[in-house]
Amino acid sequence: MLDIKFVRENPDIVKQNIKNKFQDEKLELVDQVLALDKENREIKKEVEALRANRNKISKQIGALMAQGKKEEAEEIKKQVTENAQRTEELSKREKEVEEKLLQIMMVIPNIIDPSVPIGRDDSENVEVQRFGEPGVPDFEIPYHTEIMEKFNGIDMESAGRVAGNGFYYLMGDVARLHSAILSYARDFMIGRGFTYCVPPFMIRSNVVNGVMSFAEMDAMMYKIEGEDLYLIGTSEHSMIGKFIDTILPEEKLPYTLTSYSPCFRKEKGAHGIEERGVYRIHQFEKQEMIVVCKPEDSMMWFDRLWQNTVDFFRTLDIPVRTLECCSGDLADLKVKSVDVEAWSPRQKKYFEVGSCSNLGDAQARRLKIRVNGKNGKYLAHTLNNTVVAPPRMLIAFLENNLNADGSVRIPEALRPYMGGMELITVK
């Protein structure tokens, strides 16, 4: 959410930013905000004047009563009553205006960084860099669920009977591999200086509204019936929510946390044949990283965060690339974002396995995350990035480490978490 003062002083910049995000239907919201802001300030000014006048009249009444001029005092009391009625009317209108103002401000997108490429959707994202050599073996690579089935490692049929589509049972060595990747990711991030955390897996609506847009919430989150609680779609929401309505000592910044959690998503809509299996599901587990820092440090941390993911995947011999998300592909709260994509030898292309985002002070403004600095209080900056989400990452892992005989090689970095295993063999 933007600062109302910034919108007031820079309406043309706000409108151009909306155009850059190809959300022209929101242009009229800027004028609505300006009109509501003007009315709100006028109301406050009149209320302040009425209160000052009330204090003045109260003193006059006291003086007249002391002089025995009761009739004159009663006449002036009528003004007090009229002022009180007007103040009540204005206060009611002020509340309505401020609620409407906040509602609209929550929809106006954040100002994107000047370095963000302008484009309509993810088809116009820009490749930044590749890490590792993408290869295609001289043998056929089966679909990922077929690879898992050869190890008796997945049961989607039973999961369908138990929970419906979009769920799965992982079994045996595949289930162990899934857990090993998460454990390795945890230790990898601890080794990078991050504090490990297991957060709440449900959050209240005020946290939801603080960390994401209404459109994202509707598309992603499951609501707990009869409770002010939502199942988290990703743990950074719960992690950023940890700092809600707090004043952080500047000397303690940055806060660098890495978290494990299950995640739950609606995943509305049809997604095509390549997104069956465990690619797009309602339940998965994830290792995440978040940073709460000073504004001047956020771009430095942004680069460090996505590099962590790249380094993690490379230790597992998986080629990856980074894509700079274009303006039209950025969620409304984001200032800048990079997707990390892993190589799929079967499809002979890259696919998304993580996303790194700098949200500037948007979440901090909504959640009132402030920093007590040397020169006064200011809003923190927040960032998040996926370390690894194993169900989708398993696809890249199995394809890139598959051998011609159907076995899967375990990279050296992961072997301690797999009991020393070097291979997963066909059952």
Active-site residue flag, 355: yes
CA-to-CA dists, residue 223 to 208, 235, 263, 284, 331, angstroms: 11, 16, 13, 17, 21
Nearest to 353 by CA among 309, 393, 313, 411: 393
DSSP type of residue 228: S
Nearest to 280 by CA among 289, 288, 291, 272: 272
Q: Which of 186, 265, 366, 370 is catalytic?
A: 265
218 three-class SS = helix
Burial 357-389 (b: 16+ CB within 10 A, else e): bbbbbbbbbbbebbbeeeeeeebbbbbbbbbbb
- Are the beta carbons of 74 and 81 closer than 8 angstroms? no
- Are the beta carbons of 265 and 233 closer than 8 angstroms? yes
Q: Which residues contact 424 (CB under 8 A, 6 or more apart)?
A: 151, 173, 174, 177, 407, 408, 410
Partners of 370 in the beta sheet? 247, 379
Q: Which of 355, 357, 365, 370 is catalytic?
A: 355
The Cα 389–Cα 179 span in angstroms is 11
Q: Which of 280, 346, 365, 366 is catalytic?
A: 280
Active-site residue flag, 352: yes
259 three-class SS = strand
Active-site residue flag, 213: no
Q: Which of 304, 352, 409, 415 is catalytic?
A: 352
Work out the number of other CB atoms within 10 angstroms of the CB of residue 46. 14
Active-site residue flag, 392: yes
- Which amino acid type is present at position 209? N
The Cα 337–Cα 386 span in angstroms is 12
Residues designated catalytic: 265, 280, 352, 355, 392
